[in-house]
Structure 1
Amino acid sequence: MVSVKVLRRVSIIFLFSSIFLIPIFLFELIIGILFKSYILMADSYHTLIDFLMSLLFYFTLVKINTRSRRFPWGLYNLESLVILAASIFIVYLSMNLILNMIDSSITFSISPWYSIVLFVSSIYSLTLYFIERRYVEIQIVKNDMIHSFLDSIAEVISGITLIVQSVVLIDVVTLVILIFTLSDVIREIKDSILSILGASIDSPIKIQLVNELKSKNIPILNLYLKKCGSFYAVYTYIGLPKDISLEKAYKIKRKTKRIIKKYDNIAYVDVILVPLTEIKKKKILEQVNALYSG
């Protein structure tokens, strides 16, 4: 399990990252609107998403250290609702920008010097990538690492395009940035809806949990994974003989919870003990082994 010290350090990195992105977002948006620079406007929307995600990751890592049985579950849904609302707003802005590009033929010349902000943003993304490599064992950081690297490349290309001042190239790069932004937004909308609905989901962590429980000789019958904001709620069904003592049953339950809770993005664990005959238990365990053997 990741130490509290490391989690705090990474949360501070995401906090400073979100603060650093605010002036970049405002500069790109204002200059983009004033000079009708589609590249700067599109990149400002993407910067806004990056800002929201950095802020979200900060609160996520903070919550890892503060959650408890008394932690209000409504905050998990509030997180999802905020991301959902922001994502829908960014979809609206992006679609509006595409329509403006199609309908309007008016263009204003913009100084190539404004490309500096894109190169600064690229340097920031690349620096963040190298910093995050030190904490790759944390799943949130691992996911953001790839995103930061792609951002740095995209922003260099955008900066060069702004210098070249080719109308066709500007339109193409703007559309690529918007597609990149919308792909991130669609993923966030999907995760937010699943979290709000409390739907069971399939995720690589589910396979990891099942395989680890099996390796520890836990007679797992099934495992359900649900999104809780940036976290997961895990519901595990364990098959036990009908004649097992209460002490042994609760010992297995505690062991199961201890194994699952060592994952740093698990918010809630519920272990349900199911009494079964040996024949029924054997049959179900064979089905589970067949299902997760791949």
Structure 2
Amino acid sequence: MILQLKEVNGMEEGERTALLAIAMNLVIFGIKYVSASATGSIALKAEAFHTLADFVASLTVFTGLKIAKRKTKSFPYGLYKIENLMSVIISLVILYTGYEIILDVINTDLTELRNSGFAIFSLLIATFLTFWFSNYERKIGHKINSPILLADSSHIRIDVLSNLIVLLVVVASLFGFHFDKIAALIVVIFIVKTGIQILMDGIRVLLDASVDYETLSKVEKIILDTPQIIKLKTLTGRNSGRYKFIEADIVLKTHNLDRAHFIAERVERITKEEIKNIDQVQIHYEPLQKEEIIYVLPLTEDKTSISPHFGEAPCFMLVTFKSGTETASKTEILTNPYANIQKGKGILAAELIVKNMVDFVLVKNGFESKGPHYVFSDANIELV
């Protein structure tokens, strides 16, 4: 329930951010358009229509956030990829903006700028608002792991650079230097670079590219740190919007279906707790098929009898039987490196035994309700 509430709050925060972006872009467009009309600057006019494209993109962001959280009978896994689809649409808007600016540069004659002071003041305000909001939207995007907000913040961040370039051009015009068309072309370079990056990121998710290596490594560690899991056969994952879907095939040291189901649910729960934005974890499990049964006995120093103290035993004897036979096929002596430590020797020794794929532990004195007992119980090892 706590995880669900966090997700709902995250979505609401994303929607509020998208609405703020719509309002912000509309205000900045008005400022730039008025300034472009007053000065006759091609670069400033291009910037105004670039911001208008931002306004359209922000509307797309809001629509994507509203639709992405819905689940229907036709889409039981949710519409999370709507966010990535919208990110692709935003990238196309960005690239089209660059095309429009190039057309303006080609088709518009260079003229001397008017009202440069007014343009400088307007650009300073627009640059400040753009820089502040880009950082704010990026922060929220990382917080709720929203690809669509991160894409939009990258889009808006272009405006900070392009605003500064246009600002320098306007200042230079006061000293008789006219770089209006050159500035417009520089803006196009920033636009195309960002547009292609967002386009590629969106397409990767739409084509079910694997989740990042760091996420898979964390999931792998969670699985392999579970004592009952003997082997991780396969581990895959994919992104869908801001969410991740994980699937794993494991081998368990148990033939009890209830126990196996409990272990799988535990892995799923821990994974969702430790890694953010996991929507589903699917664990496919199968029992370990063993051809050998291994017994272990804690031995005394002279190795002639069973030690009365499991954790203090200097060594352990591992005795292996082929399934269905009563004659040992192999014996092995395992040194106990924890016999002389002050605390936790029993638990550490039990964990050592678990790593050796033991099935039964023969002890002289039982230790129910103690640390080693719980270690063996979790690993489905029987005490005799």
TM-score w.r.t. length of structure 2: 0.55
Residues 192-231 of structure 1 aligned to structure 2 (within 5 Å): 192-197=202-207, 199-203=208-212, 205-207=214-216, 209-210=218-219, 213-214=222-223, 216-217=225-226, 220-228=232-240, 230-231=241-242
Residue matched to 2:283:
271
Residue matched to 2:125:
120
Residue matched to 1:236:
247
Residue matched to 2:102:
98
Residue matched to 1:285:
none
CA shift digits 1:200-253 (9 cap, x unpaired): 23525534543552574365444333232x224423213113743212222232
Residue matched to 1:252:
263
Secondary structure of the residue aligned to 1:192 is helix
CA shift digits 1:176-215 (9 cap, x unpaired): 3322222222122223323333x22352553454355257
Residues 39-78 of structure 1 aligned to structure 2 (within 5 Å): 39-42=44-47, 44-45=49-50, 48-49=53-54, 52=57, 56=61, 60=65, 66=69, 72=75, 75-78=79-82
Query: What is the CA–CA distance in structure 2 between the aligned matches of 1:231 and 1:133, rounded to whole Å?
Result: 14
Q: Does 1:156 align with 2:160?
A: no
Query: What is the CA–CA distance in structure 2 between the aligned matches of 1:23 and 1:268, rounded to whole Å?
Result: 41
Residue matched to 1:289:
none
Q: Counting strand residues as a fraction of each chain, which structure ranks higher?
A: 2
Query: Larger C-alpha radius of gyration, 1 or 2?
Result: 2
How far residue 37 of structure 1 moved from its aligned partner, in angstroms, is: 1.5
Count of aligned positions: 274
Letter in 2 for 1:257: E
Secondary structure of the residue aligned to 1:75 is coil
Q: 1:220 to 1:107 in 2, by over 3 A?
A: farther
Residue matched to 1:287:
none
Query: What is the CA–CA distance in structure 2 between the aligned matches of 1:214 and 1:120, rounded to whole Å?
Result: 53
How far residue 75 of structure 1 moved from its aligned partner, in angstroms, is: 3.5
Of 18, 26, 29 in structure 2, the residue corresponding to residue 22 of structure 1 is: 26
Query: What is the CA–CA distance in structure 1 between the aligned matches of 2:139 and 2:98, rounded to whole Å?
Result: 34
Q: Does 1:37 align with 2:37?
A: no
Q: 1:23 to 1:54 in 2, by over 3 A?
A: same
Q: 1:167 to 1:220 in 2, by over 3 A?
A: farther
More RCO (CA 8 Å, sep 6+): 1
How far residue 87 of structure 1 moved from its aligned partner, in angstroms, is: 2.7
C-alpha RMSD of matched pairs (Å): 4.4
Query: What is the CA–CA distance in structure 2 between the aligned matches of 1:55 and 1:68, rounded to whole Å?
Result: 19
Secondary structure of the residue aligned to 1:167 is coil
Query: What is the CA–CA distance in structure 2 between the aligned matches of 1:220 and 1:46, rounded to whole Å?
Result: 50
Letter in 1 for 2:189: I
The percent identity for this pair of structures is 16
Residue matched to 1:184:
194
Alignment check: 8 A CA contact 2:252 2:285 kept: no
Letter in 2 for 1:249: A
Larger deviation: 139-148 or 180-189? 139-148
Secondary structure of the residue aligned to 2:79 is helix
